[in-house]
Structure 1
C-alpha cells in the first residue's frame, strides 16, 4: 500500500525491466562472443591489404542440439558380435557394461591390431542400450543358450555313458 501512495503522491511512474543474474550473464557472454567474432573476421591476411570481410553474424540459439545421422547394424554382424562380447563379459564378471561407455569405446576397439569399426558403423548409446536390453530379455526367457552349453552337455552325456559301460564290465 505504501508504494501505491508514493506513486500517487510523487507521480514517478517508470517501468523497469528486471533481469535475473543468470539472464544478465548470458547476454554478457553472448556480447563477448559477438565481439570476438567481429575481431576475428575484421581483416584477412591476403595479397590485397585493403581487403576486409564484413562480419556476418548468424542468429544463434542457446545450446541447440545437433542431430547425428542414423546408424544401422551391418550385415556382416561385426557390431552384434562386439556387443555380445561386451554383454557376456559383463555377465561373467558381474559388472554390467555401461551402454554409453561401450558406445564411446567403439572408435577405439581393435581386432588383430586394426580398428574394428569404420566411422559410419559407430552406434549410439541408445542403440547399445536397446541391444543389451534385448539380450537380457532373451537370457531371462532362456532362449539364448550358447552352443558351448550344448557341447558341454553332450560331452557330459558321453562321459556318463562311457563310465556306465566301464563300470558294468568290471
Structure 2
C-alpha cells in the first residue's frame, strides 16, 4: 500500500514483479500459509497486521478463507506488470481482500477493479486466461525462487540484496537510493 509513495519520496523507481507464494511454499512442503501451520504465529501475524493497518489508517479484515485463491489476480498483475495501472490494481486487490474481506478469486470483482484503475478489463481478463499468462506467472515464480524470495512483500535491490516485510520497506529503498 505504501511502496509507490515512499519510493517517489526517495527518488527510487520500482519494477513490479508479481508472483505467487503458494508454489514456493509447496516446494518447502507446506500446503498452506505458515501462519496456518503455526497457530501462535498466525495469531501474532493477524494482530500485527491489525496494528500496521491502524498505524497507516487502513481497514483490516482477515479474509475467509485465508489464504485466498489468488491465481487470476496474480495472472492479471503479472500481465500488467509494466502497465501504469499495476500499482493501483495491486493496492485495490489488497484493499478488497484485507480491507473488506472480499473474495479476490471472483472474476467480476477483478473486472470491476480493472475498470476502476483504468485498465481495459475485457482485454486484460482474456489475456490472463490465455496460456501465455500461465507461462508468464510460472516464470515469475521461478524468478522469485531464484532470487531467494520466501515471503511477501519482498524487495530486491539491483545488486540482488533481498529485503522482506513491510518493516523493511524504508531500509530497502534507502539502500537503493544511496546508490542512485
Instruction: Give the TM-score normalised by the residue count of structure 1.
Output: 0.26
Return the structure number with greater relative CO, CA threshold 8 A, min gap 6: 2
